[in-house]
Homo-oligomer: A and B are copies of this chain.
């Protein structure tokens, strides 16, 4: 099947993936842009960047993590205060049962860790004082970490790009083109947006193995000045395309994967942001075109971008014309 590729389309060897890295039914890049990859051979804590992990955690899990850490530290210190003796906690005289004593120690610990220190319970004697002194230092250091983590989480430059779920093969200038659509969904501003699309084609070789070939796909526009509205990224299936001769069946059978990288400058973060995704054959719709996703607002003074329509498309007939000379400008209405 490899013979089908015209000689002048060179396999890209520097994608960072190997020719035998692909797997039956798996994908190289996950939908969220992370690599479908497992790392082994190093101990867990050597392989894991705690910072990256806490940064990517969902908000709910992050708060839960903080709450659990807070409780655990208090439970730990409460045990120590109990071991030293609750009688060394001034103000705990009315605590008689073990539960009461433990709770007193626990709440004294929490008052020390957060540095609220009401003082109705206060440390007495060297050891309790020393432990409380260390705990309050720990408290400040932990909350220094939390402060940094919070800042890192919300200040992390992100592209906030929504991709169309489907990849379409649409009519384009009398021929066909591979298309997907993106739009920013938050109140952020991206400029100098750049798209890079690499196709991975997993081929069964004679021996039953799977080899992967990579091609960079040329785009109609690979760069736009501003990502104000939506952007339909178009790979024309013409003579410059290594996959122009693919039929619908071949698109499905060859187990293609489109790896997409969008890079842009966010002028509020004053930083370059990047978002990745991938499309597999399952997400390809052969013969469809995107419907417009913006319109004039009712008062006529603004443009209204309808973010829920980023994937809206209708089925259209694809004529099997490949000669690109026949410019019909069919696509002009859909393009932004």
Check B126–A110 contact: CB distance below 8 A.
Answer: no
Contacts known (A16-B226, A114-B139, A156-B268); A305 close to B148, Cβ less than 8 A? no
A18 contacts partner chain B, Cβ-Cβ < 8 Å: yes
Check B187–A48 contact: CB distance below 8 A.
Answer: yes
A42 contacts partner chain B, Cβ-Cβ < 8 Å: yes
Please tell me which one of the listed residues B41, B120, B143, B185 contacts residue A140 in the complex, with CB atoms under 8 A apart. B143
Check A18–B307 contact: CB distance below 8 A.
Answer: no
A150 contacts partner chain B, Cβ-Cβ < 8 Å: yes
Check A231–B49 contact: CB distance below 8 A.
Answer: no
Check B16–A231 contact: CB distance below 8 A.
Answer: yes
A154 CA / B151 CA spacing, docked (Å): 12
Contacts known (A18-B335, A304-B38); A136 close to B150, Cβ less than 8 A? no
What are the residues of chain B within 8 A of A296 when measuring CB–CB?
A: 23
Check B123–A107 contact: CB distance below 8 A.
Answer: yes
The 0/1 profile, CB within 8 Å of B marked 1, for residues 1-41 of chain A is: 00000000000111111100111111010000111111111
A50 CA / B293 CA spacing, docked (Å): 25
A228 contacts partner chain B, Cβ-Cβ < 8 Å: yes
Check A185–B46 contact: CB distance below 8 A.
Answer: yes
What are the residues of chain B within 8 A of A270 when measuring CB–CB?
A: 156-157, 269, 271-274
Q: Which of A171-179, A191-199, A247-255, A281-289 contacts B (4 or more CB under 8 A)?
A: A191-199
Which B-chain residue is minimally distant from A193 (CB atoms)?
B16
Check B129–A123 contact: CB distance below 8 A.
Answer: no
Taking the closest CB of chain B, its distance from the CB of A268, in whole angstroms, is 6
A64 contacts partner chain B, Cβ-Cβ < 8 Å: no
Check A114–B140 contact: CB distance below 8 A.
Answer: yes
Contacts known (A14-B223, A118-B119); A141 close to B146, Cβ less than 8 A? yes
A61 contacts partner chain B, Cβ-Cβ < 8 Å: no
Please tell me which one of the listed residues B120, B191, B275 contacts residue A122 in the complex, with CB atoms under 8 A apart. B120
Please tell me which one of the listed residues B24, B141, B186, B187 contacts residue A150 in the complex, with CB atoms under 8 A apart. B141
Check B118–A191 contact: CB distance below 8 A.
Answer: no
Contacts known (A46-B185, A154-B51, A267-B276); A224 close to B14, Cβ less than 8 A? yes
Which B-chain residue is minimally distant from A310 (CB atoms)?
B41
The 0/1 profile, CB within 8 Å of B marked 1, for residues 234-270 of chain A is: 0000000000000000000000000001000101111
A21-B336, A51-B155 given; 20 more Cβ-contact pairs under 8 Å:
A14-B224, A15-B224, A16-B224, A24-B301, A33-B267, A36-B301, A37-B228, A37-B302, A39-B304, A39-B307, A40-B306, A41-B306, A41-B308, A48-B187, A115-B117, A116-B136, A118-B121, A140-B143, A144-B147, A270-B274
Of the A-B pairs whose beta carbons lie under 8 Å apart in the complex, a sample of 11, sorted by A's number, is A17-B336, A21-B294, A23-B297, A24-B301, A26-B300, A28-B228, A39-B304, A67-B137, A111-B116, A119-B122, A120-B122
Give chain A's interface residues, CB within 8 Å of chain B: 12-18, 21-26, 28, 33-42, 46-53, 55-56, 66-67, 70, 74, 90, 103, 107, 110-112, 114-123, 126, 129-130, 132-133, 136-137, 139-141, 143-152, 154-157, 160, 185-189, 191, 193, 196, 198, 221, 223-229, 231, 261, 265, 267-276, 294, 296-297, 300-309, 332, 335-336
